Chain A
């Protein structure tokens, strides 16, 4: 029976990407001059398991490449090689490269990047260069146990009689051994019974193996790890002196007996065979998109769910019992009510725990920033400390995926436009090294993400000048500092020529804000000249569920997100002002709010045609208040958000749909979309 390995490869991809992530973060944390053993070990382990996995699945390109990393790391780990910043760079580049390789494997496309051969060469020459160092060091610390040089291992391998029945195959082990060095296999003896008694599924063989390798015994034992209980394995070794080694070089036809040529050889040969291997599984499962993705969930969360479902089953049994009674008396009615209450609370708990499954710590998003900051900082010649706080704060996976890009944009901006070069910083009397802080924390039902820098802050004069040049602000108009800062979120500031001569931010900031608004979030900005800037992103914890207020307009039911509602009120006629045919304002305390007649924008009938006849719901739209005219408030409830775009298209003023208790569909109002639809901007009417 052929086992389809492709079903497991997804797990390998995920684990490898995780491994690469931890490798990257450890590398970035690493102090090259005094590398911590634990960090090196972690990096080594990641490389090692990727190598092992990729070899198992036949991704030889990855396996060969990681083998190089592993060799280098192994030497560093054993103290045979000093870690240098060049190593760090090479390893970081390798992380990128491997990510791309795995990405290509997931997409089942060919991987072809000149960087691969470049890096391979760098590693090879690096490892070759060290061969002498190793020997020098060996001479001083000729410790037999640590001996890294090539050794001849004799392995007597007596296979257990049941080895094949357990699904183990000596051939696979020998193949693996062959990858470690020069292997000779001899059949030792066949200990079979009389022909009539032979069990065709049993294994009566044993072998004598000779392996010339630079690997340690642990590595050899690893190969037999699965079978060591049932097989008899005996290891013995003899060190090959230099003369012998040279001879062996001749037989192995490689210029040097170091592991390097072997791997380069292997990689050249595999680069030829790779396309075929990569193309093959295409037929097997084409439909699986790499983004389909899965989530790793902690056992605790699952346990909690199982408990919850257990409770639910008990409640259901209890209710079922009542249902079986022929007559329902007052007592059973009471317990039925109780049961229903329990059911409601369990359902709520269950919903919460299910949502928890989608929650991931924000470190998944934060993790990329050390690298980003390091690379861009180096590129720009700026010294930066990156401070991450609240990495454990949990956030819905979909929100996380969508917030990363805006965050990258903001951090990039902080580095590029915010932080000054060391010289300028010193001249301003600030420490040479700037800092960028990323904070994440929960506040109410929201998550707050802050991006803070101690750079130059926004240059209000230049922004204002730019806005006047672009006609966004009238010449004689005076704006508060805050209002000027808000200008960078305007679309006009994202044009290319604004980038070159504007020292402030504003590159695509409108896009950032739009992306965040699409997540039902908001972004605020505080900036002080020469002190720095602080961007505050406020997001709902999840995109899947929202607390909604159901409203009726005509015979249509709409859902308004509860978070954006301030209040709802009936307005007396004397507080209604009409500006033009279609624009009406209501006076609410000391503010004038524009009122959107939702039925008009949505082009259907309604009971309340005039503001005085209906209810005005005061809602927040991009930190501005507007009123929505509705007929009636219905209940408040949590609604599960469904996409309209899946099968239809985006609808202006509507952010999605949900299914109500009676099975009908209700649309969820997108307030900022509705405001755009109504053509209202009340920037200057804000009289607070």
Chain B
């Protein structure tokens, strides 16, 4: 174990959390470091049929099937071409009472910061319908603004729209069945 600096020690003592930050379209985002499982390079995925465009597909992570989400596309930012330097952050997301493992594609990993809870400001209200509940807040680290993400909200909702689409689909299918018998 490396020795903790005084500053870090102080951070550990009070209500602070460590965040892994990454860069996307020159903005810096942070996710709770405890939810990060590993950081990988980009590899080809198996595409999932009829999935939203930001779901890049699934990969084999040592025997587990893990979906990969393009965060740029998820946020509606123009996409970049993937290359050898593309980074996939594999995160554990708590969903109801289970965990899901999901990979997110980002431009680059940046740093690890300890952020005191008191230093986190609420995200501004944009006043429109944009749902920004996955933004935990904003903070300053090394004179840069860091957008702290609530990964559970962000990726937890990732699956839910799917689920509702699915139930719509099933309803449609069920509705079709009686007619089909008549045909």
Residues of A participating in the B interface, judged by any CB pair closer than 8 Å: 470-474, 490-492, 556, 601-604, 642-644, 646-654, 657, 659, 663-667, 676-677, 679, 681, 683-684
Contacts and interface: CB of A to CB of B under 8 A. Distances in A.
A651 B60 contact: no
Contacts of A473: 181-182
A657 B183 CA distance: 35
| Interface of A (DSSP majority class) | loop
Nearest to B95: A647
Contacts of A647: 64-67, 100-102
Contacts of A649: 159, 162-163, 166
Contacts, number: 104
B101 to A, nearest CB: 5
B63 A653 contact: no
B178 A601 contact: no
Contacts of A677: 169, 173
B14 interface: no
A646 B49 CA distance: 17
A643 B59 CA distance: 13
A282 to B, nearest CB: 16
Nearest to B163: A649
A651 B48 contact: yes
A643 B66 CA distance: 10
Interface in B39-72: 44-51, 55, 57-60, 63-67
A664 B60 contact: yes
A676 B171 CA distance: 11
A665 B159 contact: no
Given A646-B65, A651-B51, A659-B63, A664 B178 contact: no
Contacts of A666: 46
13 contacts: A470-B178, A473-B181, A491-B174, A556-B47, A642-B63, A642-B64, A642-B65, A647-B64, A648-B159, A650-B163, A677-B173, A679-B173, A679-B180
Contacts of B55: 648
8 pairs of A and B residues whose beta carbons are closest in the complex: A602-B49, A681-B180, A665-B46, A648-B67, A647-B100, A649-B162, A676-B173, A649-B159
B60 A665 contact: yes
Given A646-B65, A648-B159, A681-B180, A667 B169 contact: no
Given A665-B58, A679-B176, A654 B183 contact: no
A472 B64 contact: no
Q: In this complex, which of B166, B169, B173 has the most chain A Cβ atoms within 10 angstroms of its Cβ?
A: B173
A603 B49 contact: yes
A276 B138 CA distance: 44
B26 interface: no
Interface string B84-119: 000000000000000011100000000000000000
B173 to A, nearest CB: 5
A474 B100 contact: no
A23 B169 CA distance: 47
A490 to B, nearest CB: 7
A408 to B, nearest CB: 24
B177 interface: yes
B169 A643 contact: no
Given A491-B177, A679-B173, A648 B182 contact: no
A164 to B, nearest CB: 41
A653 B50 CA distance: 10
Given A471-B182, A681-B176, 16 more contacts: A470-B178, A471-B178, A472-B181, A490-B181, A556-B46, A604-B49, A647-B64, A647-B100, A648-B58, A649-B162, A651-B48, A654-B48, A665-B45, A667-B48, A677-B173, A684-B183
B48 A648 contact: yes
Given A492-B178, A646-B64, A665-B58, A603 B50 contact: yes
A659 B60 contact: yes
B50 A648 contact: no
Contact of A664 (B44, B180, B183): B44
Contacts of A657: 46, 58, 65
A472 B177 CA distance: 9
B166 A650 contact: yes
B46 A667 contact: yes
Q: In this complex, which of B66, B100, B178 has the most chain A Cβ atoms within 10 angstroms of its Cβ?
A: B178
A437 to B, nearest CB: 32
Nearest to A554: B47
Given A604-B47, A647-B66, A649-B163, A665 B59 contact: yes
Nearest to B69: A648
Contacts of B183: 681, 684
A492 B181 CA distance: 12
A654 B73 CA distance: 24
Contacts of A474: 182
A490 B163 CA distance: 24
A187 to B, nearest CB: 54
A652 B166 contact: yes
A219 B64 CA distance: 53
A355 B174 CA distance: 37
Contacts of A492: 178
B176 to A, nearest CB: 6
B65 A683 contact: no
Contact of A602 (B50, B59, B173): B50
B183 to A, nearest CB: 7
A235 B51 CA distance: 78
B127 to A, nearest CB: 32
A287 B26 CA distance: 41
A585 to B, nearest CB: 14
Q: In this complex, which of B55, B57, B64, B177 has the most chain A Cβ atoms within 10 angstroms of its Cβ?
A: B177
Contacts of B180: 679, 681, 683
Contacts of A556: 46-47
Contacts of A679: 173, 176, 180
A343 B162 CA distance: 44
B164 to A, nearest CB: 10
Q: In this complex, which of B59, B162, B181 has the most chain A Cβ atoms within 10 angstroms of its Cβ?
A: B181
Contacts of B64: 642, 646-647
Contacts of A604: 47, 49
B112 to A, nearest CB: 25
Nearest to B48: A651
A556 B47 CA distance: 8
Nearest to A654: B49
Contacts of A652: 49-50, 166, 169
A474 B181 CA distance: 9
Contacts of B163: 649-650
Nearest to A602: B49
A148 B78 CA distance: 88
Contacts of B173: 676-677, 679
B52 to A, nearest CB: 11
Contacts of B46: 556, 657, 664-667
Contacts of A654: 48-49
B90 to A, nearest CB: 10
Q: In this complex, which of A556, A643, A659 has the most chain B Cβ atoms within 10 angstroms of its Cβ?
A: A659
A490 B178 CA distance: 9
B9 to A, nearest CB: 29
Contact of B49 (A643, A651, A665, A683): A651
